[in-house]
Each structure stands twice: as structure tokens, then as C-alpha cells.
Amino acid sequence: MKGIILLLAGLLLSACNYAQQPDTAVLLIPTTVTHSAQAMGQWLKANAANDYDAIKSLYYWIGNNVSYDVKLANSTQTYKDTADAAAQTLATRSGICQGYTCLFFEVCRHANIPIDLITGYTYIQGQLSLEGSHGWMGAKLNGKWGIIDPTWGAGAVDRDTFVRSFNWAHFMIPPEKAIYTHVPFDPIFQYLPHPLKPAELRDHSWHTAKERPAIYFEDSIAAYKQQTALAQVKSRMRRMETYGVINQLQRNEMAFLRQSLPAAAYSTDVASGNDAEFRTLIDRYNKLVAKLRDQPPAAGEVLLNWVNACYKESGEIYNAASRIRLEWDVSEKARQDFLKRVQTTLEKQESFRKTLTEYLQKKK
């Protein structure tokens, strides 16, 4: 995403003059709230008449206040996450496409405006740009879907120098037009009933898409957003493979998604509460083991009752750990090993209970 090199502003505007030009009158965001994405979002929520006006205001502010960071684009530095990218971009008033889009996304999040953060690759004058992946936004405003590219809307790079040239050409581009320049890695974010395959875009055989059954992309996107982090990564990979991975940028994205699987699995375990429950069981078991190592009650029925209580708790721990399923393979292996330890403890306790019970019965 960092490597995208923008062309001259004039070229971009001539190539993308298809967007409907909105009313240039915008709600101006005051400087007093531009210290954080949260403050900007809350201000827009309180002052914009609707989501369209809020997003148009944000697009205008970013395009006139954030510069493309050529030095960062050519470095190996990366943002930590979406929030970090937004914060850095706002603090420095500069960023790469990820910074532009993450800032846009974070402000909208705080304004309670639903918007999609999309990654993919671009075509410029009909040619695939291999400079790097790119990021943009997608939104449904006034009942219509549209593509918003705040990076290209701010200007362009000429000889390693950013030239600001704010324009409306990349605001709410109709999806059926945007697909020829902005190609999402995940086809459902084309916002088209007949998503185009990468090969169809490459070969200019766009008409073949209409021969496939239509999809309900809004339902697909809604279902995707309800999935766990792990399921989202897997479903994105599955859709990319179904539609075809044919260029290096897609292959890079697939490699990134594969590398993301462990983190997505762990995130899913955390979100489900299974990770916390497993850690609680480990702590409970360690306390039980420490209790078993302590001096038990003197003897007789008191000792038997104590042993039975410990045995009961071991069983509860084992049963609870058996019901958990952890998505991250490292955690799942740890859970399996944990079950073996608890099982060994149960067997030892069962043997001692049997011996002690027989002894007490003989004494009677």
C-alpha cells in the first residue's frame, strides 16, 4: 500500500473525470477540533445535517490539509494499526494512502457513520499499476454506493514532490465506473451485482461478468462484517482464489493474509472469551495443585472429604477445558497439553481416593 506512486494531477483528473461533481459548498471543520479523529468525528456528528454532508466535509478537509508523504512511501516504515495510522497522519498532516484512509475511517467511526476501508490495486489509463497496493473508502450515501479516494483527491506526486491539487473527481465514484481504476482485492467490495474477475479487467472482457448469476453484495458484506476475525481472513482468501489471483499485487495480498491467520485466530479466541476462560482455568488448576502439595487434613473422614472436594474440582476444570475450542493452533496445543496434565492429576486423585476409602472401610 505504501508504494503507490501517484501520477500528475492533471493526468488523474482527465482519466477520472467521470465522478459526479457535488455541490462545492461544504461544512468547514474548525481548526479547534482537528487535534484528534475523535474530536473531528464528534463535531461532524453534532453539526452535519446528514452522513453525506459529513463525509463531503471530511473529504474536503483531508484533501486540503493532508499532504502525501513521499519519503514515507519510499521507506520501510509501517503504521502499527488503523488508529496509529490515523493519529500519525493527523499529527503530521501527512501520510501515504493508508494514512489518508485510516484517518478517514477513524473520523467516520467516531461520527457513527458506516464506511468501508478497502484495499486493492489500481489501473491508470487502462494499465495495471505495479507500484504497490492502494487503499480507498466505500460508502452508501443517499441510497447509492460510491467509492471515495481521499489520496487521489488531494493531489499528485511529480518528481518525488507532492503537488496539492484538491479535486472532487474521486468523491463518490459510481462503482460501475470505479472498477476500471480501483480494483478491490475482495470482490464483494466492488459493490457490483456482477463483480468482474481480475482476468476480465486485464483482458477487457468485461461483458462476460454479466453471464454469471448476480450476487447480493450488500448481504455478503453484512455477513462478512458479522464473521470472526479468522473467518473474515479465510473468506477473503477464498473469494480471491475463486475470482482468480493473476498478478503480483494479489499474490502479495494472499501472502499477507496467510501470515495474518495466526493473529486473526488469536484475536478470535480473545473476542469469543475462550482465551480468557482458558487462562482462568489454568490459574484455577495451578492453585489446586498448590493446595494438593500443602499438608492435607489429619486423617479419617475429614481427609476423605478433602480429597473428594479436590477431585471434584479437578473434574470441573477438566470438563470446562474440554468444552473450549481455541482457533489459534499454539493455544489449542497448550489446551491439549493442559488436558493431559489435569487428566494425570485426576487419575492420581482417583487412585488415592480408592485406597483411602478401602482403608477407612477396613477400620470400621
Residue range 171-205, pLDDT digits in tens: 999 999 999 999 999 999 999 999 999 999 999 99
Looking at per-residue pLDDT, the higher value among 126 and 259 belongs to 259
Which string of b and e fits 49-82 if b means at least 16 CB within 10 Å? eebbbbbbbbbbbbbebbebbbebbeeeeebeeb
Residues 202 and 290 both lie in one domain: no
Residues 54 and 131 both lie in one domain: yes
Confidence tier at 22 by pLDDT (50, 70, 90):
low
- Residue ending a domain, among 271, 293, 315, is 271
- Would you say 1 and 132 are in contact if contact means Cβ atoms under 8 Å apart? yes
Q: By residue range, what is the domain housing residue 172? A: 9-271
Residues 239 and 225 both lie in one domain: yes
**pTM (two decimals):** 0.86
pLDDT at 273 over 80: yes
Nearest to 233 by CA among 189, 264, 212, 197: 264
Residues 299 and 257 both lie in one domain: no
Residues 146 and 294 both lie in one domain: no
- Residue ending a domain, among 212, 247, 271, is 271
Confidence tier at 11 by pLDDT (50, 70, 90):
very low
Share of the chain above pLDDT 70, in %: 93
pLDDT at 310 over 50: yes
Mean pLDDT on 70-98: 90
pLDDT at 274 over 50: yes
User: Number of folded domains in the chain?
Assistant: 2
pLDDT at 10 over 70: no
Residues 13 and 98 both lie in one domain: yes
Residue 125 lies in a domain: yes
Predicted pLDDT of residue 140: 97
Residues 281 and 263 both lie in one domain: no
Residues 62 and 157 both lie in one domain: yes
Residue 214 lies in a domain: yes
Residues 92 and 71 both lie in one domain: yes
Residues 91 and 227 both lie in one domain: yes
Residues 297 and 340 both lie in one domain: yes
- Residue ending a domain, among 220, 246, 271, is 271
Residues 35 and 47 both lie in one domain: yes
Predicted pLDDT of residue 158: 87
